[in-house]
Structure 1
């Protein structure tokens, strides 16, 4: 059982929860400070963390099950656990069910609004994996799905949903969509050949990288806007500037002629960006 669990956690890249979890915490902190003038309680931290882990684990596992046949035919993904026969779909489905149980139980422990909004979250968690079959806007759907992390943190800590939270949602959603477009450039030719939809397969590598830059510019503007419309101060703004510099550096690593550093741009830099935003937001309120 432990071996199978290790395979599943490796398959869903469990460590990449670092992309979304800091933004969930950021949403919880901002919501608590802006709405209530206080910090999230210890148990709110615990339940928000469990909800995020459950949501991402369920979403990534569903994606692997739904895309199993696609992954099997793609040389880049053929060695993933399900196509390689390392684990069965039934075992994954049990893990998905357990992940959803964790998500639902954690939301129930937070507040009623978190419970009421669960169907929306589950819808996006499930539908994303199918979008590449019918729309090149799948990257935006993924962005909206990850953007639910700060919204979930905000709702979980306060039981409210305000327009400031929506601005934060836009910032995170377009940041995610931008780096997902960069990641998808690796499969542009394959997606086009087999009839899958993506921005790179629809518009080509060069134009896709330009669209990714546009998404990141709007994301940066949204994050700066939080400085204007909330009590956030200069420490937060310094964090946003650093995040913007990371996005610029991320784009400098890839070009239409050289995609060899997509892995660095996608995994390393985005993990750093989310942690930077979290640390500087906390630092702003503490200082």
Structure 2
């Protein structure tokens, strides 16, 4: 008898050899799957705008002679923990909202809630614990950042419902996932400026682009059950839309760099990221789910390249 992902305690849309299954006891697997600990790409993509913003602010601070390495590294650590916690909380909330939809989609049917391996009550308790962890992290920042972080919860609450009333749910995801582009700067200066706002809008465009690629995996099931997405909206014109979205991403990051006055090293990182985004567009086959997932995950490298260049530029600011 062939074991299904649900029978094995695993899910069909994550690697079966993930550390979760090697390290955690079997009873903890459903919770790890709810939080997507077996799929780190989510918290990585949530984290990079935070890191970009913190490093952008650090370049400005270093140029003004007021940069503090220990404080910068502490902020990065807090953003890492916060990204893991809040991404997990967001995914748990999303799975609670999408319980019925996940049962109807082949890729998500083996997840803990639709497969019955965890109850809704257990999921809600786990959601609360992750949100509490995120709150503890948020409280380590200044009052302005705390208020800004709380404000993001409205967008987070709306996102799981967006696919029911708009063809642009990826825009709502972008607003939520890109919030860190504001938070890093706010944590450093206790205020906002045009540079992080430009970075925020750039990150939204980037998110819409990479999540459109991701959504092409589910477009057939989405069409059957009436779930809306930019993948379905763009269809065969996805490549043209990506040229616009990724082009806007690069242009607005460049604007934020110019406003912040970063050095040449940061610009070289942005150039490398632009080439990576262009390669994604050129390579994309919207009818190949395996490739769509691989290209989506590759955006982790794009995010890292931009951050690394900004971080290296700090001592030379």
TM-score, normalised with respect to structure 1: 0.91
Q: Which runs of 5+ in 1 are unaligned?
A: none
The correspondence of residues 40-189 of structure 1 with structure 2, limited to 5 A, is: 41=71, 42-189=73-220
Task: Sort the Cα spacing of 1:199 and 1:26 in 2 relative to 1 into closer, same or farther, 3 A.
Answer: closer
Equivalent residue number for residue 36 of structure 2: 13
Q: Rg bigger for which structure? A: 2
Equivalent residue number for residue 310 of structure 2: 281
Contact 1:139 1:177 in 2 (8 A): yes
Q: Deviations over 1:97-156 (max 9, x none)?
A: 112112222222211112222332111112111100100111111111111022122222
Equivalent residue number for residue 202 of structure 1: 233
Contact 2:53 2:196 in 1 (8 A): yes
Task: Sort the Cα spacing of 1:257 and 1:240 in 2 relative to 1 into closer, same or farther, 3 A.
Answer: same
* 1:34 equivalent among 60, 73, 79: 60
Q: How much has 1:256 moved relative to structure 2? A: 4.4
Partner SS, residue 262 of structure 2: coil
Partner SS, residue 261 of structure 1: helix
Partner SS, residue 284 of structure 2: coil
Whole-Å Cα distance in 2 between the matches of residues 5 and 153 of structure 1? 32
Task: Sort the Cα spacing of 1:5 and 1:214 in 2 relative to 1 into closer, same or farther, 3 A.
Answer: farther
* 1:223 equivalent among 234, 237, 253: 253
Contact 1:52 1:149 in 2 (8 A): no
Q: Which moved more, 1:7-16 or 1:184-193?
A: 7-16
Q: How much has 1:266 moved relative to structure 2? A: 0.7
Q: How much has 1:208 moved relative to structure 2? A: 3.0
Equivalent residue number for residue 247 of structure 1: 277
Whole-Å Cα distance in 2 between the matches of residues 262 and 256 of structure 1? 7
Q: Which moved more, 1:182-191 or 1:251-260?
A: 251-260
Task: Sort the Cα spacing of 1:255 and 1:169 in 2 relative to 1 into closer, same or farther, 3 A.
Answer: same
Contact 2:194 2:256 in 1 (8 A): no
Whole-Å Cα distance in 1 between the matches of residues 190 and 227 of structure 2? 39
Task: Sort the Cα spacing of 1:134 and 1:29 in 2 relative to 1 into closer, same or farther, 3 A.
Answer: same
Whole-Å Cα distance in 2 between the matches of residues 189 and 156 of structure 1? 42
Whole-Å Cα distance in 1 between the matches of residues 110 and 170 of structure 2? 23
Whole-Å Cα distance in 1 between the matches of residues 32 and 185 of structure 2? 27
Task: Sort the Cα spacing of 1:249 and 1:8 in 2 relative to 1 into closer, same or farther, 3 A.
Answer: farther
Q: Which moved more, 1:244-253 or 1:35-44?
A: 35-44
Whole-Å Cα distance in 2 between the matches of residues 202 and 45 of structure 1? 36
Figure out how many residues of one structure are paired with residues of the other and give that number: 285
Q: How much has 1:2 moved relative to structure 2? A: 4.8
